[in-house]
């Protein structure tokens, strides 16, 4: 056994004052990840502040390159600009980065990993591992079950995403608008382009030249990479709704072979971390409020898609806590997998073959 999987590790959390960063600290603690030293980092604005974490008051440091000296694993959740700039600096100082932002996800040399879908892709990491977008995260394990059993022809997913997916400011904005509504005051919108309270906004992240939003396109490209299906036909509409935590998704899948809803439920329930809740007679289906605070991905409303012939279509509903499995839990699961498999150091340093997205496709072609 190497030093890395015997001894407690020095772990940095970058973005430690944010909603994902705080959830990461909580989950490291809950899962008893062997943290020797916990280094909490954020912007210069927060440096010197203390936060209560890990049963004690810990000081926030500024996320600068020198802060990564001696760090084994750095969990980044401070946005793509910070990750683009600081992740290479952290790697150069010997840290392995698990990055929550979109900065590295589509880099051909960086594995993009959902813990129960493609953990093998971690082996060849170059020092950076990417954690998928929250909407992708809850979908990929469910699609994996269908890919492996009956093949995937086409996927349509429409998301109903909570405001915590935008961060701490959006949580405050929704709460403020609800209070303003109750007291008859105008609803001020600064985070979103329109009031989010009592609304549904079909705009998440920026618009791209192809008419999709960047969030929608992440669902398309990230699922293809994680599932090793570069040509998967997949489309998405991403909608922000006034829910605090948990994203919901309406999914329509055309499969290569026929499949019944009964078989699909059995396949879904066999995926680690997926729970089927599907009892229409008792109004039983996954709810955002019930998924919040949980690590599982919940699936329900499984039915034959009536628009597809020969029983080759399914429709269903997928719900998960975007801060936990959608971000922090998966990141910590990846850290656990790296440690258990002795893959914390980058592939070249271990003499392992470097990851390349094209190789991942070859492996399952
Ligand atoms: N929310 C989700 O469901 C979700 C899911 C998956 C991925 N993510 C990704 O996770 C990241 C953070 O999201 P969040 O929801 O936690 O946002 P948030 O609540 O707004 O927190 C942002 C964090 O980033 C830090 N930060 C901002 N600028 C910085 C800088 N220049 N240097 C160092 N730290 C800086 C902030 O520190 P200060 O307090 O000092 O400003 C804060 O800790 C984003 O990349 C997001 O895309 C979020």
Q: pLDDT tens digit string along 122-163?
A: 999 999 999 999 999 999 999 999 999 999 999 999 999 999
Whether 3 shows a pLDDT value over 60: the answer reads: no
| 77 Cα to the center of ligand 1, angstroms | 5
Can 236 be counted among the known catalytic residues? no
Whether 308 shows a pLDDT value over 70: the answer reads: yes
The answer to whether residues 17 and 49 touch, using CB atoms and an 8 Å cutoff, is: yes
Whether 91 shows a pLDDT value over 90: the answer reads: yes
Nearest CA to ligand 1 atom 14: 167
Nearest ligand 1 atom, CA 79: 45
Q: pLDDT tens digit string along 241-294?
A: 999 999 999 999 999 999 999 999 999 999 999 999 999 999 999 999 999 999
The model carries a pTM of 0.96
Rounded to the nearest integer, the mean pLDDT of the chain is 96
The answer to whether residues 166 and 18 touch, using CB atoms and an 8 Å cutoff, is: no
If pLDDT is split at 50, 70 and 90, which confidence band does 359 have? Answer: confident
Whether 307 shows a pLDDT value over 80: the answer reads: yes
Nearest to 77 by CA among 144, 170, 166: 166
Can 359 be counted among the known catalytic residues? no
| 20 Cα to the center of ligand 1, angstroms | 7
Ligand 1 pocket by Cβ (under 6 Å): 15-21, 42-43, 45-46, 63, 77-80, 82, 100-101, 134, 164-165, 167-169, 322-323, 326-327
- Ligand 1 test: best mutation among 12, 18, 46, most atoms within 8 Å of CB? 18
Whether 54 shows a pLDDT value over 70: the answer reads: no
Q: How far is CA 298 from CA 31, 86, 204, 258, 301, in A?
A: 21, 35, 23, 23, 11
* Strands 128-130 vs 96-99: parallel, antiparallel or unpaired: parallel
Nearest CA to ligand 1 atom 41: 43
Nearest CA to ligand 1 atom 47: 101
Q: Mean pLDDT, to the nearest integer, of 212-231?
A: 98
- In this predicted model, which residue has the larger pLDDT, 118 or 6? 118
Three-class secondary structure assignment of 190-233: CCCCCCCCCCCECCCCCECCCCCEHHHHHHHHHHHHHCCCCCCE
Whether 2 shows a pLDDT value over 70: the answer reads: no
What pLDDT shows up at residue 109?
98
């Amino acid at each position: 056994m190497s030093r890395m999987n015997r001894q407690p590790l020095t772990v940095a959390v970058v973005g430690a004052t944010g909603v994902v960063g705080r959830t990461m600290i909580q989950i490291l603690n809950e899962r008893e990840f062997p943290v020797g030293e916990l280094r909490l980092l954020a912007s210069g604005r927060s440096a010197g502040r203390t936060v209560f974490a890990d049963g004690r008051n810990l000081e926030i440091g500024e996320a600068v390159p020198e802060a990564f000296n001696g760090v084994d694993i750095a969990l980044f959740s401070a946005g793509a600009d910070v990750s683009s700039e600081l992740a290479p600096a952290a790697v150069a100082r010997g840290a392995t980065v698990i990055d929550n932002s979109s900065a590295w996800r589509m880099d051909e040399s960086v594995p993009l990993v959902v813990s129960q879908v493609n953990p093998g892709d971690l082996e060849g990491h170059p020092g950076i591992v990417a954690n998928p977008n929250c909407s992708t995260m809850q979908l990929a394990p469910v699609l994996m079950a269908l890919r492996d059993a009956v093949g995937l022809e086409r996927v349509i997913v429409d998301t109903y995403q909570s405001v915590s997916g935008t961060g701490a400011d959006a949580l405050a904005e929704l709460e403020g608008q609800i209070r303003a509504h109750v007291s008859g005051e105008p609803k001020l919108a600064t985070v979103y382009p329109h009031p989010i309270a009592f609304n549904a906004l079909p705009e998440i992240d920026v618009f791209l030249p192809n008419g999709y939003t960047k969030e929608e396109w992440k669902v398309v490209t990230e699922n293809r990479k994680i599932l090793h299906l570069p040509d998967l036909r997949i489309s998405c509409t991403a909608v922000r709704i006034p829910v605090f935590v948990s994203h919901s998704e309406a999914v329509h899948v055309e499969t290569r072979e026929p499949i019944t809803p009964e078989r699909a439920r059995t396949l879904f329930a066999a995926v680690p971390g997926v729970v089927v809740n599907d009892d229409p007679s008792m109004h039983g289906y996954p709810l955002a409020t019930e998924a919040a605070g949980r690590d599982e991905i919940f699936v329900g409303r499984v039915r034959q898609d009536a628009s597809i012939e020969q029983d080759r279509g399914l429709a269903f509903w997928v719900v998960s806590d975007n801060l936990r499995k959608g971000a922090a839990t998966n990141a910590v699961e990846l850290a656990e997998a790296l440690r258990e498999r002795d893959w914390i150091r980058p592939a070249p340093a271990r003499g392992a073959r470097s990851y390349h997205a094209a190789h991942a496709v070859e492996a399952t072609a």
